[in-house]
């Protein structure tokens, strides 16, 4: 058991833990959650003994091995497979022993058999494959790979070494969807204790069985997955808020009496007794709800569909096209998730759509005034580390008053303190917010977001879902966050084997495909259907609202173009080109309306089925 007893610790005079206590039973898989900046990574360093506690203690079973991911695997000439194998230090030492003593040789062989050393290469290869490295790549040197890929090697090494206590800090931040799903499956069967710092709701609902919540310098242990924790915490906060409100009313009543009668001789004694009652009362503090983490995307003007159309398009980097024969269309109300294994071309397609890459052949048509916002993780790393967020905006909008720029920053959750802090001192989540703000400054008609949730805490991820739901432009998403994809995307495109095709199944089917697990059996006809979860119902209702909004918007555009075509002057010979353009738009709108109405009816039927269950 990991015993955390009454620990206190501060950084730069700011208390992160104050008399905090928690016990983690041996073999448990635990998610460590809490807002950014509360001390989750610091707790890991305290557990590893890298920092000295001010008071309290952290105890582990004698001889327990602690493992975590190094900052980065070295860019060495050692192959990936050998780097991972070397992580098992006992095996590596035994394999390197060249003793000629028969007794020592027998001892080594016995111990190698005990630790299953001969299956080690196969186990290491399986882990590397799960994290995205095929068999030929496993025999390449680490120096052939970028920093992000070497982080995967570091993760593979610690998983292979199987420490008694595995500490993982945001492990999915450098994984794609496929790698994240593999890790989720792997951790469920991990034989020892695991503590994961993560804001990935799916991971915390599937790979762990308990939640350790860090808030207000305290640690609280909840049994169950993240959704169960969220419900339990919400109920506790509701009770605390009700008790605080009741006490505030009591105090107000007592204070009112004191204010009225404390200086009146005949009431002074009663007033003094009420003053003492106020002094004795233990204050019930209202829940310390974190400052609202918001995203405020500017709304674009409407454009006739499609805003982008590809006909037989191919794209690449000068050699064989990465993607070819693409026939795709994007309307302003589309919410598209790009699926596909790493290296298949999701980022290439994103660059093509955003005009960062040109089509090598075929045709790509964009609306003439189309504005596109593009966010990718590398842009966060390209911010000016010695400048403040306010200075970044002043460069983009030199004519804006500082007060207006500060309001824009506030709309992305960057308050006065963060606005004047150099980027180098901001958290990863705050940098991501700044990059998202810069990507949306021009009120784009389409947002292309490549892993937008990396470094965002849980509340920020939920705020991003809300902002994208309210946003009136098209969205193209690449993300390992299945929760985000399930709530935002209503179309799935599979990028695979040099092509891009609509994926007709749902995300659960795609997850099963990646993990190669069979579909769940159909329930017997006489069995009672499973009641849908609250999240599933909320997602279904959101889908109905989005579908209704889409239909209404298309109907408005249909009426506007109908009115234009009804004008007599449109049939003047000089207006022939304009009339044909509007007639083409009218035809496209009718087709779009038919598709939108079908999606609306499908969403309604789905919601009705779920509510009846």
* Cβ-Cβ contacts under 8 Å for 584 (sequence gap 6 or more): none
Picking from 301, 324, 300, the residue whose alpha carbon sits closest to that of residue 312 is: 324
Residue 457 in this model has a pLDDT that exceeds 90:
no
| Least confident stretch, 90-99, 218-227, 461-470 | 90-99
Same domain, 132 and 39: no
Q: Classify each residue of 286-310 as buried b or exposed e, where b means 16 or more C-beta atoms within 10 Å of its C-beta.
A: ebeeeeebbbbbbebebbbbbbbbb
What pTM was estimated for this model as a whole? 0.71
Alpha-carbon distance of 487 to 535, in angstroms, equals 9
Q: 610 vs 208, which has greater pLDDT?
A: 208
Does any domain span residue 231? no
Mean of pLDDT values over 336-352 = 90
Alpha-carbon distance of 469 to 463, in angstroms, equals 10
Same domain, 379 and 464: yes
Same domain, 316 and 442: yes
Residue 527 in this model has a pLDDT that exceeds 50:
no
For 480, the 3-state DSSP assignment is coil
Mean of pLDDT values over 349-354 = 93
Per-residue confidence band for 538, with pLDDT thresholds at 50, 70 and 90: low
Same domain, 47 and 170: yes
Mean of pLDDT values over 431-442 = 92
Mean of pLDDT values over 95-105 = 80
* Cβ-Cβ contacts under 8 Å for 124 (sequence gap 6 or more): 81, 84, 85, 156, 160
Q: 101 vs 322, which has greater pLDDT?
A: 322
Mean of pLDDT values over 289-302 = 75
User: What φ, ψ does residue 20 adopt, rounded to 5°?
Assistant: -90, 140
Does any domain span residue 584? yes
Does any domain span residue 529? no
* Cβ-Cβ contacts under 8 Å for 436 (sequence gap 6 or more): 295, 375, 412, 452
Same domain, 369 and 454: yes
Does any domain span residue 509? yes
Examine residue 403 and say whether the peptide bond preceding it is cis (omega within 30 degrees of 0).
Answer: no
Per-residue confidence band for 111, with pLDDT thresholds at 50, 70 and 90: confident
Of 159, 176, 192, the one marking the end of a domain is: 159
Mean of pLDDT values over 475-498 = 90
Residue 6 in this model has a pLDDT that exceeds 90:
yes
Same domain, 201 and 89: no
| Least confident stretch, 20-34, 79-93, 424-438, 508-522 | 508-522
| Least confident stretch, 222-231, 408-417, 442-451, 548-557 | 548-557
pLDDT at 519: 47
Residue 610 in this model has a pLDDT that exceeds 90:
no
pLDDT (tens digit per residue) in 370-381: 999 999 877 787
The residues with which 374 forms a beta bridge, in sequence order, are 448
Q: Using an 8 Å Cβ cutoff, are 82 and 29 in contact? A: no
Strands 218-223 and 335-339 turn out to be unpaired
Q: Which domain holds residue 9?
A: 1-65+163-224
pLDDT at 526: 45
Residues in the chain: 613
Alpha-carbon distance of 16 to 14, in angstroms, equals 6
Per cent of the chain over pLDDT 70 is 91
Per-residue confidence band for 195, with pLDDT thresholds at 50, 70 and 90: very high
Number of structural domains found in the chain: 5
Which token pair is 330? 């994007």
Of 224, 251, 272, the one marking the end of a domain is: 224
pLDDT at 524: 44
Residue 97 in this model has a pLDDT that exceeds 50:
yes
Q: Using an 8 Å Cβ cutoff, are 304 and 589 in contact? A: yes
Strands 2-11 and 474-478 turn out to be unpaired
Does any domain span residue 229? no
| Least confident stretch, 119-128, 271-280, 376-385, 589-598 | 271-280
pLDDT (tens digit per residue) in 478-487: 998 888 998 8
pLDDT (tens digit per residue) in 258-275: 777 666 666 666 667 767
Same domain, 139 and 86: yes
Same domain, 321 and 411: yes
Same domain, 440 and 336: yes
Strands 361-366 and 372-376 turn out to be unpaired
Q: 95 vs 375, which has greater pLDDT?
A: 375
Same domain, 262 and 213: no
Mean of pLDDT values over 464-490 = 90
Residue 17 in this model has a pLDDT that exceeds 90:
yes
User: What φ, ψ does residue 257 adopt, rounded to 5°?
Assistant: -65, -45
Residue 489 in this model has a pLDDT that exceeds 80:
yes
Alpha-carbon distance of 190 to 8, in angstroms, equals 31
Q: Looking at residue 533, what DSSP letter applies?
A: P
Picking from 527, 590, 526, the residue whose alpha carbon sits closest to that of residue 554 is: 590
Does any domain span residue 293? no
Same domain, 59 and 188: yes
pLDDT at 581: 76
Q: Using an 8 Å Cβ cutoff, are 439 and 373 in contact? A: yes
Of 458, 482, 515, the one marking the end of a domain is: 515
pLDDT at 533: 63
Same domain, 354 and 367: yes
Alpha-carbon distance of 530 to 579, in angstroms, equals 54
Could you tell me the CATH number of the domain that includes residue 442?
A: 3.40.50.300
Does any domain span residue 24? yes
Per-residue confidence band for 366, with pLDDT thresholds at 50, 70 and 90: very high
Alpha-carbon distance of 203 to 400, in angstroms, equals 42
Does any domain span residue 135? yes
């Amino acid at each position: 058991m990991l015993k955390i007893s009454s620990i206190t610790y501060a950084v730069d005079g700011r208390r992160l833990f104050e008399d905090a206590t928690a016990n983690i039973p041996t073999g448990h898989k635990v998610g460590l959650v809490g807002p950014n900046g509360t001390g989750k990574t610091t707790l890991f360093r305290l557990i590893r003994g890298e920092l000295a506690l001010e008071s309290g203690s952290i105890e582990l079973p004698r001889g327990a091995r602690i493992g975590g991911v190094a900052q980065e695997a070295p860019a060495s000439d050692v192959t990936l497979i050998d780097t991972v194998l070397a992580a098992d230090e006992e095996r590596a030492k035994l394999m390197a022993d060249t003793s000629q003593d028969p007794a020592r040789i027998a001892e080594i062989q016995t111990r190698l058999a005990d630790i299953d050393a001969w299956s080690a290469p196969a186990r290491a290869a399986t882990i590397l494959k799960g994290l995205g490295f095929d068999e030929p790549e496993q025999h390449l040197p680490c120096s052939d790979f970028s920093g992000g890929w070497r982080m995967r090697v570091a993760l593979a090494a610690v998983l292979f070494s199987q420490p008694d206590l595995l500490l993982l800090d945001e492990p999915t931040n450098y994984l794609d969807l496929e790698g994240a799903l593999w890790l989720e499956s792997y951790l469920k069967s991990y034989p020892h204790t695991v503590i994961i710092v993560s804001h990935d709701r799916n991971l915390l609902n599937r790979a762990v069985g308990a939640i350790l919540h860090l808030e207000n310098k305290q640690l609280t242990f909840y049994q169950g997955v993240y959704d169960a924790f969220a419900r339990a915490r919400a109920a506790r906060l509701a009770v605390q808020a009700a008790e605080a409100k009741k006490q505030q009313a009591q105090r107000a009543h007592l204070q009112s009496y004191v204010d009225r009668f404390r200086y009146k001789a005949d009431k002074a004694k009663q007033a003094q007794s009420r003053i003492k009652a106020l002094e004795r009362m233990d204050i019930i503090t209202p829940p310390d709800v974190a400052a609202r983490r918001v995203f405020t995307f500017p709304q674009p003007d409407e454009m006739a569909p499609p805003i982008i159309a590809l006909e037989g398009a191919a794209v690449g980097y000068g050699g064989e096209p990465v993607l070819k024969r693409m026939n795709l269309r994007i309307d302003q109300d589309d919410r598209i998730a790009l699926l596909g294994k790493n290296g298949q071309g999701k980022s290439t397609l994103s660059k093509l759509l955003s005009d960062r890459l040109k089509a090598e052949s075929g045709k790509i048509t964009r609306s003439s005034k189309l504005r596109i916002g593009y966010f990718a993780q590398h842009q966060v790393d390209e911010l000016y580390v010695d400048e403040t967020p306010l200075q970044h905006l002043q460069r983009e909008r030199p004519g804006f008053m500082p007060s207006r720029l500060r309001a824009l920053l506030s709309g992305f959750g960057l308050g006065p303190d963060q606005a004047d802090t150099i980027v180098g001192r901001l958290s990863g989540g705050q940098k991501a917010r700044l990059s998202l703000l810069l990507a949306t400054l021009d009120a784009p008609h389409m947002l292309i977001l490549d892993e937008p949730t990396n470094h965002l805490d849980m509340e920020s991820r939920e705020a991003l879902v809300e902002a994208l739901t309210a946003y009136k432009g098209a969205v193209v998403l690449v993300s390992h966050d299945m929760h985000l994809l399930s709530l935002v995307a209503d179309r799935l495109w599979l990028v695979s084997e040099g092509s891009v095709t609509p994926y007709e199944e749902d995300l659960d089917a795609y997850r099963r495909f990646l993990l190669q697990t069979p579909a769940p059996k159909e329930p017997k006809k006489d069995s009672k259907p499973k009641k849908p979860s609250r999240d599933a119902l909320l997602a279904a209702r959101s889908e109905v609202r989005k579908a209704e909004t889409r239909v209404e918007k298309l109907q408005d555009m249909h009426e506007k173009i109908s009115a234009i075509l009804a004008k007599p002057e449109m049939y003047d010979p000089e207006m022939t080109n304009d009339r044909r353009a509007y007639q083409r738009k009218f035809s496209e709108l009718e087709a779009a309306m038919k598709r939108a109405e079908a999606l609306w009816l499908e969403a309604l039927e789905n919601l009705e089925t779920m509510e009846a269950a």
